[in-house]
Chains A and B, each alone.
Chain A
């Protein structure tokens, strides 16, 4: 089974530019999550999709961030315009409900390292 794939693996952009990160979850996983770690801080939740719907976007820092998941397959996270404080590693994860519902473990991708200069 292929894992969660993220690209690009690295991106360096100038302040004010736009960057789009992509995540391909494990096939068949309805749940898709975005997390990020900015310099010196803990890994923080950004948002959660169930299929194409946003289930929880309480962690999105501001309206410069836009996440989409058209068709319930891959997801994109766009930052526009990027600011210096957006630098960090952005992780995507996916999961599948266990039979009978309840708790499950996520599979994370390797992340996209974003550097805003």
Chain B
């Protein structure tokens, strides 16, 4: 079973920041938080991952709380192309499986 909980859906206006929350209260010390997204009819796409520090790349920022029990994926300027299902996944260093939950369906509107 997935170790994360996410809201089933969110809306965001184009050009605004999209903030997608994720709870992972049972995360252990050697587990990373990964984010993937799936745009309709495509395979999942890696976005970002982190352990305890905040991370930023060209796609997004990942904010992890100090107790590591939750995180937020931030898309700073959402576009219509960011409409997708976003998956937050907890994964151990020595584990290769990704356990997908139901994700958050983000709808970006004009």
Contacts and interface: CB of A to CB of B under 8 A. Distances in A.
Contacts of A31: 96
Interface string B31-64: 0101000100111111001000000000000000
B44 A42 contact: no
B25 interface: no
A110 interface: yes
A45 B93 contact: no
B100 interface: yes
A42 B2 contact: yes
- What secondary structure prevails in chain B residues at the interface with A? loop
Contacts of A74: none
A109 B99 CA distance: 17
A33 B44 CA distance: 13
B98 A106 contact: yes
Contact of A103 (B38, B41, B87, B93): B93
A44 B99 CA distance: 7
Contact of A56 (B44, B97, B102): B97
A43 B100 contact: yes
A43 B101 CA distance: 8
B34 A105 contact: yes
Contact of B44 (A43, A44, A55, A103): A43
B100 A42 contact: yes
Contacts of B46: 105-107
A110 B93 contact: no
Interface in B96-110: 96-102
Contacts of B44: 43, 91, 93, 106, 108
A105 B45 CA distance: 9
Interface of A: 4, 31, 33, 35, 42-45, 48, 55-56, 59, 91, 93, 102-103, 105-111
CB-based closest 9 A-B pairs:
A108-B43, A105-B46, A43-B100, A45-B97, A42-B100, A108-B44, A91-B43, A48-B96, A110-B43
